[in-house]
Structure 1
Amino acid sequence: MIRTSYFTAIKLFAAPGSEEITQNVCNYLQNRIPRYFIPYEGGKLRLAKTEYEIFSNGNPQAQVEEVRDMLAVIICTQAQPVAHNYMLFHAMLHALIDADVADIILVHPYMWFSRSDRKNQPRISTFADLYGDMISNFFGIHRVLIMDPHDSHLKHYFKPAANEITAVYLLADYLKKNFLGKNSNEWTMVFADAGAANKYEKIANLLRAGQAYIVKDREDNSENPTPKKIIGEVKNKNCLLFDDEILTGSTAIKDAKVLIEAGAKTLFMAAVHPILEHKQLSHRDLIERLEQSPIKKFITTDSVPVGHKLNINGQGKIIILSAAKLLSEAIARMVEGRSLTELLRPDNVKLYSTF
C-alpha cells in the first residue's frame, strides 16, 4: 500500500508498450512542472528506467530506479501482447511500492480491458471491474486518470472514481480548421449507433453540422454488427463518422457503404483510439483495408502505439494527432492540485492543441 501523498520529486514511468506516448508526454511535461521536482542533472525530465527479466521458468521480475519519497507518474496504455504486458505492469507496480514510492498517479490514455466490462452472457468473466478493484484495493493507488473510456461508468471501478478527460475536442478543433471550416451546413456527423449519438451530440452542435446515426443488429457480443437503416439526412452531404475507437475497421467500412448507397458525397471518420486489432489480420493488412475503403480520411490520436509503429502519420488516409499535450496538462494539474474541469470545456482546447 502507498503510505503518503507527500513527495520530494517526480519520476515518469512508461508501462510496457507505452514508451512512445510516455516520451511524448515527457517532452511537454518538462515545461509544466516546477523544475525543483525534477531529480535529474540539469533539471531535464526523462523516462525513468524499468528493467524486466523473464526467468527460465517464465516468471517475470521488474526492477525500477530509485523512487523513495517520490511521486511516480505511470502512463499505461493498451499495447500488444496485452496479457504479457499486464503481468509486467503488475511487477512494476509491486517494485515501485516496495521501493517506498510516496505516491502514484496512474494515467490511461486507453484503458485496457475496457471492452470486458459487462456480464452479458452466462458464465463469462469480466475484467474491467476486477482491474479497478486491484488497482484501488490491492495496490492502493487512488489517483487515476482515464482518457475517453469506452463507457464513462468504467471510472467508477476505481475507488475513488478515476478522473476522466477527453480528446474529442482536439479532434473537433482539427476537423473544423482543416475540413468543415465555414461550410458546416454541407456536413452531417454520423454516429455508429444511438448510444454514440447521445454521447457525442455536443460535438455535432459544436461543429454546427447535421446529425444522423445508424441502426444496427448486433448478435451476442459480436464486434461486427450489421447496419440496418440510417436515421437522419445524409443525401448529398459530406459525412463524418464519429466514434470513440476504431477496433477492426469492419464496422466503419460497412457503415461507409451504407452511407454511399444513401447518397452521401464524401466520407471521413474520426475516432479517439486507433485500436486496429483483428484476430486474423496483421496491422498492415488492416491499414491496407482502410486505405482501400471509400472513407477519404481517418483522423485519430496516438493513445495507442499502432500508428507510430507503422510510421503511417502523414501518409495515405490516416492522420494521427498527438494527445500528449492534453495528457501532460492533466498530469500537471493533478500534481498541482488543480481542477481538471477546464480541460472538459471546448473553448479551452487551446491549452493543449498543437496545430
Structure 2
Amino acid sequence: MKVICTEKSQILATRLARAQKTTVVDVKYSRFPDGELYLVAGELDDETVMVSSVVDNDALVQLLLLIDACENSDIRLVIPYMGYARQDRQDRKGEPLSARAVARAISRGVSECITVNIHEPDVLRFFNAPARNISLARDIGAYIKTLNLTNPLILAPDDGALAFAEQVASAGEWEFDHLEKTRLSGEQVTMAPKALSAASRPVVIVDDIISTGGTIATAAGMLSAQGATDVYAACVHGVLTGGAYVRLIEAGVRDVICSDTIERGCSRVSAADQIANALQTRSNR
C-alpha cells in the first residue's frame, strides 16, 4: 500500500504515510497555457490510499484526474474536507443537489470513501462506493487538554452543534452548552450560553467548520463582557474565508485551533491517526 495525494493535502498525506509506515507517491502537477490542469503520478502499488481535500474547484479537478491516473490500483479515497457537502438540499426548481453531484463524481473508480466530520452525514448515501465518516471531536478535545485551562466551558455556536461540543467536552469531562440568541429589540441581539455561566472561566467555542467566523467573533465580544476570562475557537475544518482569522483575533479570540483537513498555519490537530485507524477495516454498504 502507498499513499498519494492532491496538491493541497500534502502535509496530511505525509503524516498518514508515517502512521501507516509507508511512502507517498510523487505526483508532478502543472497547468497548460489555457488553464487546464495536468498531472503525472509516480509508481503505484496494488493498493492506494488517496488523500484529497476538496477545498476549491482546482482541487476537485485534480482529484478526478488523479483517480483516473490510478485506475489500475485499488483506490481507497480519503476526503478530509469535502467542498460542496453543505449544498445538500434543493430549495428551488432547477437547482442542482451539488453534494450529490460531487459525491457521485469522485466516488467512481474507487473501492471505498472515508470522510472526516462531513457537515451532513446523510450526504454519504450519494457516493457510488461504500462510504463512512469519522470524527476528530475527541482529538480536538485532547488538544484543548494541553492548554491546561481551568474549568473550561465547551460551547457550541448553536444547538445543531451541541452533539459535537459534547464529544469534545468528553475528552476532559468538562461542562458543555450551546449559545442562545435573544432578541432585545428590532436590531439588538445578545448571545449567551443557554444554561451555564461563562463568568470567571475560559470558554472554547467549537464547531465542525469555521467559515466566515462572524458568529464566533460576535459571541467572543459578548462572552468577554459576560465575564469569560478567555475565549478560544476550535474546529475540524478551518475554511477561514474572507479574512475570518483576522476577524476572530481582532474580536478578542485568544487562539484559533483547527485540524490539517485544510492545511493552515493554525492547524494544530492532525487527522492522520484517526484515518490510519479507519483504514484498518473496510467500509460496507
One fold, TM greater than 0.5?
yes
Query: For this pair of structures, how many residues does the alignment match?
Result: 277
Q: CA deviation at 1:199?
A: 3.9
CA deviations on 1:30-84 (whole Å, 9 max, x unpaired) are 1xxxxxxxxxxxxxx43212234433444433332343x71111100134xx112
- Flag the 1:61–1:302 CA change in 2: closer, same or farther, 3 A: closer
Structure 1 gaps of 5+ residues are 1-9, 31-44, 218-225, 308-317, 341-355
Pick from 62, 76, 85 the counterpart of residue 52 of structure 2: 76
Aligned-residue sequence identity (percent) comes to: 22
The SS at the match of 1:125 is coil
1:16 equivalenced with 2:7 (yes/no): yes
1:51 equivalenced with 2:42 (yes/no): no
1:106 equivalenced with 2:77 (yes/no): yes
Give the corresponding residue for 2:217: 253
Give the corresponding residue for 2:274: 326
Structure 2 gaps of 5+ residues are 183-188
Pick from 252, 259, 263 the counterpart of residue 301 of structure 1: 259
Give the corresponding residue for 1:27: 18
Q: CA deviation at 1:21?
A: 1.6
Q: CA deviation at 1:228?
A: 5.1
The SS at the match of 2:176 is strand
Kept after mapping to 1: 8 A contact 2:152/2:202: yes
Which amino acid in structure 2 is aligned with residue 22 of structure 1? A
- Flag the 1:21–1:319 CA change in 2: closer, same or farther, 3 A: closer
Query: RMSD in angstroms over aligned alpha carbons?
Result: 2.7
Which amino acid in structure 2 is aligned with residue 135 of structure 1? I
1:269 equivalenced with 2:233 (yes/no): yes
Which shifted more, 201-210 or 187-196? 201-210
* 1:153-192 alignment, distance < 5 Å: 153-180=122-149, 183=150, 186-192=151-157
Give the corresponding residue for 2:185: none
Pick from 200, 203, 206 the counterpart of residue 165 of structure 2: 200
Kept after mapping to 1: 8 A contact 2:88/2:120: no
- Flag the 1:301–1:60 CA change in 2: closer, same or farther, 3 A: closer
Structure 1 distance, partners of 2:8, 2:267, is: 21
> What is the TM-score of this pair, normalised by structure 1?
0.69
Pick from 96, 121, 128 the counterpart of residue 99 of structure 2: 128
Which amino acid in structure 2 is aligned with residue 326 of structure 1? Q
Structure 2 distance, partners of 1:319, 1:63, is: 28
More helix by share: 1
Structure 1 distance, partners of 2:227, 2:129, is: 48
Give the corresponding residue for 1:64: 41
> What is the TM-score of this pair, normalised by structure 2?
0.85
Q: CA deviation at 1:319?
A: 6.4
